[in-house]
Amino acid sequence: MSGSSLDGLDIVHVQLSEVRGQWSYEILHANCIPYSEQWSNDLRDAVNKNVGDFLKLHTSYGHYLGEQVNGFIAKHELSHQVHFIASHGHTVFHEPQNRTTCQIGDGAAIAAVTGLPVINDLRVMDVALGGQGAPIVPIGDKLLFSNYDYLLNIGGIANVTVQSKGIAFDICPANQVLNALAAREGKAMDENGDMASVGTLLPGILEELNDAHYYKQLPPKSLSNDAAMEVVFPHLLETDENNFDLLHTAAIHIVQQIVAALKHYLHQKEQATLLATGGGAFNTFLITELQKALAASNIIVVVPDARVVKFKEALVMALIGTLRWREEVNVISSVTGATRDSVGGALWIA
């Protein structure tokens, strides 16, 4: 799994079990392999390449993924223990309104390098059926994390699953914004939200951020990386305001949009739980502000152990691949808006 924040390639070795419809999981090994500056630049700029260079990037990235999987297998001594590889790849283009999405990382190349069966292109069937192709994680929320009312992923883009309604959608840009601002201070991220915590709110900019048209749309809806940047980047990156104040304001914006999204789907319980994962769950300032903001709605924010925080999305890709292997539904149309549920993923056998 490679996410929109481009912090690295997540690889997990997962054991999944199903007994009479009840699923359980164990993350046996997990690593995040940081991208080189070259890979970060190539993936970020992929959509701007000409056709020939784009296709070469697609195949070379597939070979890179295969090599990283081989290294992971060797490191953890997993020879002959891996049944297949489920690869999300990296999203470089997403226009579901035109029934088009692209996650690069050639499945044939991965299979050729590893000698293992590969399942990839997990989103394209849903998009072909008129769906958003996103979020696709809710099938994992339903089967692996059903004891939580809400499941929030704070990655490059924040998205949420509402269990009681069987819906999920992208909320707002998140870590990709915070990381871009942190980079101005020579940091890869605002660790623990320390810089944001000492900043002050910029009400005018916050109002501009909250006025984005995307926030007025109803689900199903999703954000591409480019669309996410258009929502907030101009307001934050094209200003001379103090950077710590911008980080503070961006974090509060994320919190307010999460709260606004959940208010449309409030629970009917004495108390509800929200599982927060993704890199943003390590942002102490953001999570503290979110908990305070959700207290009035009797929603408790739960941050699980670090391995689940970091690798939940990769874990769910393993489940999606497993369901595809079993030829069972792995993308839910009530979430994406497709004409029907589907069995997504292409299978490559070397």
pTM of the complete model: 0.88
Q: What percent of the chain has pLDDT over 90?
A: 91
Range 138-308 classified under CATH 3.90.79.10: no
Q: Can 9-132+313-348 and 138-308 be said to share one CATH topology?
A: yes
* Residue whose tokens read 């208010």: 263
Nearest to 344 by CA among 305, 316, 306: 316
Please check the confidence at residue 282 and state whether its pLDDT lies above 90: yes
Q: What is the 3-state secondary structure (H, E, C) of 71-85?
A: HHHHHCCCCCCCCCE
Nearest to 86 by CA among 21, 50, 146, 139: 139
Predicted confidence band of residue 224 (pLDDT cuts 50, 70, 90): confident
Please tell me the predicted confidence (pLDDT) of residue 7: 82
Please check the confidence at residue 3 and state whether its pLDDT lies above 90: no
Q: What is the pLDDT of residues 178-187, one digit of tens each?
A: 999 999 999 9
Q: What is the pLDDT of residues 320-350, one digit of tens each?
A: 999 999 999 999 999 999 999 999 999 999 8
Strands 346-348 and 118-120: antiparallel
Please check the confidence at residue 226 and state whether its pLDDT lies above 90: no
Structural domain boundaries of the chain? 9-132+313-348, 138-308
Task: Name 155's Cβ contacts closer than 8 Å, sequence gap at least 6.
Answer: 3, 4, 5, 174, 175, 278, 279, 280, 313
CATH of region 9-132+313-348, choose from 3.30.420.40, 3.30.420.10, 3.40.50.12160, 3.40.190.10 = 3.30.420.40
Please check the confidence at residue 223 and state whether its pLDDT lies above 90: no
Distance, first Cα to last Cα, the chain: 21
